[in-house]
Amino acid sequence: MVRAMRMHARFMVVLAGVAMAASCGGGKAAGPRATPVVPAGPTPDVPTIPVTAPLVPPPSVNGRLPTDIVPQAYGLMLTVDPDKPRFSGTTYIDILATAPTRAIILHARKMNITSAVVGTPEGAIIPAKATLRMAAGGKEDPEELVLELASELRAGEARIAIDYDAPFDDQLRGLYRVKDGGRWYAFTQFEPTDARRAFPCFDEPGFKVPFTLQRRHPDGLLALANSEPVPAPVAAVTPGVATTEFATTPPLPTYLVAFAVGPFELLEGPADAKPRIRVATPIGKSKLGAAALESSAAFVKIMEDYFAQPYPFSKLDLLAVPEFAAGAMENPGLITFRDEALLLAPQASTNARRRVAGIIAHELAHQWFGNLVTMKWWNDLWLNEGFATWMADKVVDKWQPSFGARVESLSSKAWVMETDALASARAVRQPINSTSEALEAFDGITYVKGASILTMLESHVGEDAFRAGVRAYLAAHARGSATADDLFTELDRAAPDKPVSKLAATFLDRAGLPLVRSSAITCDGPAASVQLTQRRYVRAGAQAGAASPGTGAGAAVDASAPWSIPVCLMYSAAKGAPKTLCTMLDGPSATVVLPGAACKQGWVYPNASEAGYYRWVVPDAMFTQLAAAAGKGQLAVAQRLGLINDAWALVGSGDLGADVMLATLARFGGERERNVVDALDSALRTVRDTVVAPADEAAYAAWVVKLLGPMGKQLGWDAAKTDSEDRRLTRQTVLRLLGDLGNDKATLTEAARRLKLWLDKPEALDPDMAAMAVSLGARTGDRGTFDALLAIHKAAKLPEHRVLALTGLGNFSDPALLGEALALSLSADVRLQDMRYIVRPAVRHATRAITWAWLQKNWDAIKARVGGFGIDRFVGITGAFCDRAERDAAEAFFTPRIANLEGTARTLKESLEEADVCINLRARESARVGAFLKK
């Protein structure tokens, strides 16, 4: 419920006059409809007391604003002309002062404040001196805006009015502009802390209030925002300038406010659909949004059913952004996407279609988890991102079961477990005390570990109880803010016999993950049983440290205490099919009775459905049994995939030799299931990059060809009409392995031939083979190949073709041509967001030294262009060094250069430890691998 603020008429007129006076000289918008409202209810009765604290409190060490001023509503009036380098605006903020004060602290960054006043309901207008200052833990720019008031503001309601102007950001943050097809467009990206670059605000997620937006922009351009435009447009006051006002939004945090201005095209969904769905694109691209319209409509219906809540906003616009730092952003009513993450040609590849579907599902899940109910602070970011990651897999599998999204996520879980096994790993719920730490929280721990914990909780309590708890949580906190503990309270109520609060805390509030060890099956007593033990899983070369301090109800979790682990065992039965038994492992060890287990040569698979977030180990003889069963396809897909992933993990911890690992992988030469082949791909690449000594690389390549050559020959290069999508994807994976790891001459020759076909006419080559042909074919490419790829990049009308051409440029083996491609990535000819498509393949094993030398030589240019957008990815190259001298050189290079860069410290720390682990692993295992390859 909201109501108009009861304020003295003189106060309303004078504050509106601030904007009017500014508009006479600077062209800012004004209008009474932009004035905000505040929630209904009585103003707290706070006594007026003398101000005894310092006039301006210092920045808080926890990164939070003072609690004496609480925003109630915003009115944002901006003049946005994408053709110009700066924008301007007036921000009205209705506030509640909980105590008398002479200073108001809020957020602003890189702004020129031209006027600031505070008005009261009694009609008093208090001038304010505006100053920007550094926040505690700040590294780059001042981001706190201090308003020093000329006189005391009494407790109660008031309104701030601020006039300002600012530059469009040049690193895809805040309010920024980009050119596409010769036309300028303006877009926003505010998460986590960049709303303060676009308008003065209380830029914290717990402040969730209504926004009323008004935009002045060149006539003929379309303005988009979170909500619908009001039916009656505001009358233009300047020739050639239009004004668009939008309906007041439901309560939102600042990071979810979004708007855009440009000559957009719209592709409309059905007019009677609820919600109304549209795809908005730059000129000439709207036809590529048809698939997104179809899938998003299906996803909304699936989610409405799951959550038992209708889509929570008045409209749903999907906006394709030509340059975008993130993959996508869940702004309510105006979800923004990189163009390649939204737009698809009818002939798009299978990978592209599945990737786009997954991204759309992720952002739509946020409309309930994150937007309808929002985290109170960034320490619970996992609740937004982990849930959206988890829900996207569930929704995609409901929509298209053949995609196998949940099984595919097991590979992501295996990847994040490697990071989680480092001493430098952080807890999921980690204290966040600065912008830099907030940026660092957008990582695999938040997204993938968070999602994996939710998978484990759902498996533990059951799908029905889990869904009931989620529905109750959303109903209880709709339009408000909450914490993960609020969710767990509802889950405990939904499944009282299986409470999750304690279980979840042991995984959320400490770093790391457990290793569950199972003994052999014993039949000494009246029934068969196994002994289970647990300890922290640690990769050799890393030192297990204390868990990072938690921030939830489980913050008191002892880092040395056992995890509460829901363990599900699958075991061989004396008669019939294998059986499954689930139990809770709460202590250091437990004896588990296995009814009907086979005693002789019996086996146990310690993570039956791979829903548990833990590594596992069994006796050597039992592991050999499991590997043999997996190689024959006798284990389920998730188990075969899990066995490969856990085998490598056990090499990392020292529980399994790398030679045994290779012998295990050799059993999968006949595997045809896509997700298992993908796990094989990951394992083979990791082995090559870590434990294969340079002198043994040729022998390893020959072994890969021997293992996969028959599969590659059987799959062939050309898909049959009857081929499933999974078979098409498996073909790509196997042929790429043969060319990349195996250096197979026949494969590379054929890839080069098909690359030429693609260069002549991209549409002529099967899109499912194009990615593999381009990346492998470029390895042996020459100047003519390079120029042809560059020409396709410049002329590409489809996002997928643009990305493929850039990826090809990053795959050249010729040092001069690769150097030219890397130089191109720093030029205006390549979009800032697209640099990764060149740099990422260039960091591969064979050309890493070339790329590292380029990075060191061009660091200043890289930093100047990239800034806060993805600079951590360049720092992350450190983790690929498996040589002590290279590792130490990287540490010496980066340490002084990133000291004042936000969001990079943790990346360097983890990457250095990754290098340490690799160095240790190679020293321990390379001789075993060499001996195995010589057999």
- Active site residue ranges: 363
Cα dihedral 894→899→905→909 (10° resolution): 50
DSSP secondary structure code for residue 448 in this structure: I
* Helices and strands (H and E) in the chain: how many: 28, 29
Which residue, 303, 480, 331, is CA-closest to 392?
Answer: 303
Q: Residues 813, 847: contact at Cβ < 8 Å?
A: yes
- Verify cis geometry, omega within 30 degrees of 0, for the bond prior to 263: no
Residue 837 DSSP SS3: helix
* 13, 130, 217, 243 from 81: Cα distances, Å: 27, 26, 5, 12
Which DSSP string do the residues of 512-565 spell out, in sequence order?
A: S-EEEEE---B-SSSS-EEEEEEEE---TTS---PPPPP-STTTT--TTSPP-E
Distance of CA 865 to the CA centre of its chain: 22
548: left (phi over 0), alpha (psi -120 to 50) or beta: beta
Amino acid at 679: A
Tokens 């767990």, located at residue? 488
- Verify cis geometry, omega within 30 degrees of 0, for the bond prior to 275: yes
Amino acid at 406: R
Q: At what angle do helices 350-366 and 725-740 cross, to 10 degrees?
A: 110
Give 113's contacts (C-beta < 8 A, 6+ positions apart): 130, 132, 145, 162, 163, 164, 200
The C-alpha atoms of residue 819 and residue 169 are separated, in whole angstroms, by 29
Residue 291 DSSP SS3: helix
DSSP secondary structure code for residue 447 in this structure: I
Question: Quick one: which H or E segment has residue 107?
Answer: strand 101-107
**How many residues appear in the chain?**
935
- Verify cis geometry, omega within 30 degrees of 0, for the bond prior to 192: yes
Amino acid at 407: V
The C-alpha atoms of residue 253 and residue 203 are separated, in whole angstroms, by 8
The C-alpha atoms of residue 673 and residue 727 are separated, in whole angstroms, by 8
